[in-house]
Amino acid sequence: MPPVPRTLIPALAALAQKRLLFFAGKGGVGKTTVAATVAFTLARHGKKTLLIELDDSSRASRLLGVSSTDQHATGPQPVSPSLFVLSTSGQIALEEYLQLIIPFKPLSRAIVESRAYQYFVAAAPGLKELLTMGKVWYEERKREAEQPLWDIIVIDLPATGHSLQYLRMPRAAHETFGGIISREAERIAAVLHDPEKTAVNLVTTPDELPVSETQEAYQQLTEDLRLPIGALFINRMHTAPLPAEALQTTALHGTLSARERQLIELLLRCGHNEAMETDIQTVRLQPLQPLPLPVIPIPFAVADAADETIVEQLSLALTTAAPDPSPRNRKSARQRPRTPQTSHAETSHVETSHAAPEE
Ligand SMILES: Nc1ncnc2c1ncn2[C@@H]1O[C@H](COP(=O)(O)OP(=O)(O)O)[C@@H](O)[C@H]1O
Ligand SMILES: [Mg+2]
């Protein structure tokens, strides 16, 4: 099948105008998967993108297919000409900073391994987070022929509680310290708090605990940290084309072999479960309805999706078929009923094409 042109859904097209996209959420909700999918999709749609993962697990690198030998390299690793990934952590940022001050490696290593250093780090809360944000800011500042090297930087934060500490530190350091630290921290905080440049996105699943953690995170981000918020990504969404009542096995008639009947009953049961899940998730997500945020649903990936294909599969949820620009088809496109998705396609601005999903 020839490639079908696709455009970004409007909520993502709006995020694509920023420079820094942070992703926060409870551990296990699929934050890394969603951040990697967003980075992959933006890169495919013409944005030179850097994905930074801050928990040093190299999970995002693996999802994007960076070979394991490259995963521990210190600089951004190429996935494609327009997509790079950088794995780092507070500990790594601190050690790198120390090496900048003490370039003699054996000495800086000895310091890092000393007990006094461990005490110092423990006694300086927020230092690692501040240096890590400094690293993000350093990438944001990188220029090539006077143009930003990265169109957009996607940052996969650690699990919620800790991630807010990363976002809090620059302003806190500016207010607490004096001199050069305060000035540097202020410059970082200025980018973070600029709604033209930054959006903090929330990732949740339709489950009770992640939903309540998302409510709390939203409150802290807006009332306490006063940071610009982007979108609410709801991951692992179930969709049922038919309601549960339409999938009762008792509705089976006709002459079927025992095997056929068994197979159909099994499929109906799966469909029934999926329909029930869909109803339950609507109830579970209700507390998030009042949040004034664009919602981006991400479907449950098909079973057994391997790491390398899950991102490609989920990326389809972030794009929609572009309207056919040829004059012959424009008329018939206008006559078609407007679904929310087609009107989405008309408003998003960044375009590319990739293979359509197999039917
Ligand atoms: N949309 C999805 N459909 C199916 N499985 C998913 C989806 N998103 C994430 N997962 C799976 O959930 C697990 C946790 O995902 P991960 O991105 O590592 O979470 P987090 O970064 O929030 O801890 C992984 O096994 C991942 O493959
Ligand atoms: Mg993760």
| Residue pLDDT, tens place only, 128-164 | 888 889 889 989 999 999 999 999 999 999 886 778 8
Output the CA 210–ligand 2 centroid distance in Å.
14
Pocket residues for ligand 1 (CB within 6 Å)?
25, 27-33, 59, 235-236, 298, 300-301, 310, 314
Between strands 83-87 and 77-80, the pairing is antiparallel
Report the pLDDT value the prediction gives residue 355, as an integer from 0 to 100.
39
Q: Which ligand is nearest to the CA of 28?
A: 1
Q: Whose CA is nearest to atom 26 of ligand 1?
A: 30
In the predicted structure, residue 218 carries a pLDDT above the cut 50: yes
Output the CA 258–ligand 2 centroid distance in Å.
45
- Confidence label for 343 from pLDDT (cuts 50, 70 and 90): very low
Q: Whose CA is nearest to atom 11 of ligand 1?
A: 30
Report the pLDDT value the prediction gives residue 269, as an integer from 0 to 100.
85
Mean pLDDT to the nearest integer, 285-305: 90
Cα–Cα distance measured from residue 312 to residue 357, given in angstroms and rounded to the nearest whole number: 10
Which DSSP letter does residue 238 get?
Answer: -
Report the pLDDT value the prediction gives residue 306, as an integer from 0 to 100.
64
Report the pLDDT value the prediction gives residue 94, as an integer from 0 to 100.
74
Q: What is the pLDDT of residues 77-130, one digit of tens each?
A: 999 999 999 988 877 777 777 676 666 777 767 766 777 767 666 666 788 888
In the predicted structure, residue 248 carries a pLDDT above the cut 90: no
Mean pLDDT to the nearest integer, 48-70: 85
Q: What does the mean pLDDT of the chain come to?
A: 83
Report the pLDDT value the prediction gives residue 249, as an integer from 0 to 100.
62
Q: Which of 26, 31, 32, 33 is the pocket-test mutation for ligand 1 (most atoms within 8 Å of CB)?
A: 33
Q: Which two tokens stand for residue 294?
A: 């664009």
Contacts of 308 (CB under 8 A, 6+ apart): 63, 65
Report the pLDDT value the prediction gives residue 347, as an integer from 0 to 100.
32
Sign of the CA dihedral running 271, 355, 301, 26: negative
Instruction: Compare 179 and 23 and report the one with higher pLDDT.
Output: 23
Report the pLDDT value the prediction gives residue 65, as an integer from 0 to 100.
86
- Coil, strand, or helix at residue 269? helix
Cα–Cα distance measured from residue 221 to residue 163, given in angstroms and rounded to the nearest whole number: 11
Burial 246-260 (b: 16+ CB within 10 A, else e): ebeeeeeeeeeeeee
**Looking up tokens 């050690």, which residue turns up?**
95
Report the pLDDT value the prediction gives residue 22, as an integer from 0 to 100.
98
Output the CA 32–ligand 2 centroid distance in Å.
4
Q: Whose CA is nearest to atom 15 of ligand 1?
A: 30
Q: Which two tokens stand for residue 199?
A: 């959006």
Nearest atom in ligand 1 to 300's CA = 3
In the predicted structure, residue 359 carries a pLDDT above the cut 50: no
In the predicted structure, residue 329 carries a pLDDT above the cut 60: no
> In the beta sheet, which residues pair with residue 353?
5
Q: Whose CA is nearest to atom 23 of ligand 1?
A: 28
Nearest atom in ligand 1 to 314's CA = 1
Output the CA 236–ligand 1 centroid distance in Å.
8
Mean pLDDT to the nearest integer, 215-243: 93
Report the pLDDT value the prediction gives residue 127, as an integer from 0 to 100.
81
- Coil, strand, or helix at residue 336? coil
Mean pLDDT to the nearest integer, 228-246: 89
Considering only CA atoms, which of 100, 63, 95 is closest in space to residue 79? Answer: 63
Write the CA distances from 132 to 43, 97, 155, 163, 289, integer angstroms: 23, 10, 11, 11, 33
In the predicted structure, residue 48 carries a pLDDT above the cut 50: yes
Instruction: Compare 344 and 26 and report the one with higher pLDDT.
Output: 26
Output the CA 86–ligand 2 centroid distance in Å.
14
* pTM recorded for the entire structure: 0.83
Sign of the CA dihedral running 102, 108, 112, 114: negative
DSSP one-letter string for 45-74: TT--EEEEESSS--HHHHHTT--TTTTT-S
- Coil, strand, or helix at residue 79? strand
Between strands 20-25 and 198-204, the pairing is parallel
Write the CA distances from 289 to 10, 77, 160, 285, 294, integer angstroms: 19, 39, 20, 7, 10
Nearest atom in ligand 1 to 298's CA = 1
In the predicted structure, residue 57 carries a pLDDT above the cut 60: yes
Output the CA 53–ligand 1 centroid distance in Å.
15
CB 295 within 8 A of CB 232: yes
Report the pLDDT value the prediction gives residue 275, as an integer from 0 to 100.
87
